[in-house]
Structures are given as C-alpha cells and as structure tokens.
Amino acid sequence: MKGTLEFLCSSDPVAQSLREAFIFKIIPMLNPDGVINGTNRCDLNGEDLNRQWSKPDPVLSPTIYHTKGFLYYLNSIGRTPLVFCDYHGHSRKKNVFLYGCSLKETLWQSGSSVNTMGLKEDPGYRTIPKTLDRLAPAFSFNSCNYLVEKSRSSTARVVVWREMGVLRSYTMESTHNGCDQGIYKGLQTGTRELQEMGLKFCHSLLSLTKDMKALYSPRTINHIDLDHKSHNCFEDDEPPCVEQIEYSTDCPLHNGTDLDSDVNSNMARADEKEEDNDEGHRGGTLSRDSNGQSQQSIKSYLFPHLMKQTSSEKRSMCNSVSANGQIMS
C-alpha cells in the first residue's frame, strides 16, 4: 500500500497518466485495531474481517459496513469501480498472485453438469494478471485463481463482484514466505519488494486504458520495465477445487468485447490498433443492470439509509479505482 500511495502521488509520468485516466479511491487499512495489536487477519473481536462482507455489522465490523456502503453509493450514482483490489498477505504460498472471480472457470473446475458452451463471459478479468506477469518479478500468473467457492462467498472480492457487478474484483495476496521464481527466487520478501509490487500494480492499470500505446509513449517507456518475464511456478500448493463451488445463477454474467487473444502480444507490438473495448476508456463506467432487483433488495436490507438518498444531479460517469489495504479503479 505504501508503494501504491507514494507512486500515485509522485511526479512520475506514468503516475500522471494514471491520474489523468482514473479516479483512485483508496482505503489504506480496514483492520487498524487488529494490526496495531499484532493480528493482521482478525480484529479485536477475533473475527476475520474478510468474511464479514455479506452482512457486515455496523457495530462489530464498522470499517467493512461503511466501505460496503460507500461502494453501493458509487454504484447508485453510476460510478461503479472499474477495478477493485483488496491487498492481503498470504502465510503459506510463495510469490504474489491474484484471486479473482469467474463464473465460467468455476463451473469448469467444479465438474458441474451445466453446459458452459453458450455461456458468454468477458475475459477482461485476466488482463491485469497477465500484465503483472510481464511487469512484476515477484508476481506468479500460474498461482492466480478465479474460483468462487462457498467458503469465500463473504469475502470482499466475491461480494463486490456479485453484488456490485465489478468484473475486475481481486484479492492481491503477497507472500510471507519469499519467492520461488525469477530474480527473487530463494529470497525472502522485504518492504522494498512489497512497495515495488504496489507500484507495479499501478503500472498494470495502464493496460485498461483504451489506447494500449500509452504503455509505449516516449513519456512513459523509460519508466516501465515491460518485459520482466518471470519463470512462473507450475504447481499450486492448493488443489484447484478443494471446496464446494458456488455457481448460483445470480452471479453476474459479463457480456463484453473479447480481449485480444493474448495480452502479451498486445504489449509486444507498439503499433497495434486500439482495442475495441468500451469499458476501459476514459469517461466509461462498468454498471450492471442484470442484478437490478436483487441488488435493490440487498441494498435496502443492509443499507436502508442509502436507499433514501437522492442526488440532486447525477454526475457524469467516469472510471474510478478503489483500494483498501484496497484499491478501486
């Protein structure tokens, strides 16, 4: 988080490009009481705050309650985040990786009898992981996971994906155990490497702008290491599907423009034509209507005060990025 904040507030040309393209909404920490007492996972009540997002209690989990309310507010005024990322530490797995959400991959790996051949899903949730695999030496694309398990149904990434319709909703897990790949192989991660990862995550957001050539402009080319190919580990220390899978039909379906067949090929050719992708352009938004009624009922149940609010004038839509130990973009 420190690396993210310092980079975005710097005079770096890439940071300036990002500030021009996105609105960043950052919550540096959701568990200050627990962290200051040495429990980075649980609060002072002994509760894992990342399991309280479905029905957060305003008294017992105030930070989660108000953050969720803030996200619903953004959704209600047409400013649904383009990206949501929750920064976490992982005590067992090595490297840095992302957990995302994909209905199609969940159905495939669960062995479900549901026919996914006709299921349309925007593959844009893989854009940031693919880009990070090129940019960040500590990042492992092969450790990323996009399953929606029932035991994770109350986590931030799943709730924001399901209830707010944010396609790129992630948990970024940073290892406590060092790396087993690339230039950091066999080394423990320190504050410098963690700050570098926060910076590289910001760099990866450029891949969501409409003009991919922004990555290669003379203004930014000298500030980004573009071809940092890592030697990814091909074994995940967690089974691909260890729990019962959640694949209810109220999960949002994302029908959008397909990405180019390979993000890496986009980044390798500076003269490639602009992607035909509405959701990444400046001034766009990622609002969903498919969940309308269920969303309204959930909102009125959890946040009745929000449902009574009316804005005198609906502001124009724009991209936003959210982060707490989170980033919303």
Q: Point out the catalytic residue in the list 173, 193, 246, 275.
A: 173
Backbone angles phi, psi at 273, to 5 degrees: -65, 160
- Rounded CA separation 184/172 (Å): 18
The neighbour count for residue 49, using CB atoms within 10 Å, is: 22
Please state the separation of Cα 111 from the chain's center in Å: 26
Positions of E strands within 73-143: 83-90, 96-99
Which position has the token pair 């899978």? 245
Residue in 98, 108, 161, 88 with CA at minimum distance from that of residue 130: 98
DSSP string, 147-210: --BGGGTTSHHHHHHHHH--SEEEEEEEESS-BSSGGGBT----HHHHHHHHHHHHHHGGGGSS
Task: Name the token pair of 304.
Answer: 């009745």
Whether residue 235 lies in the annotated active site: no
Active site positions, annotated:
173
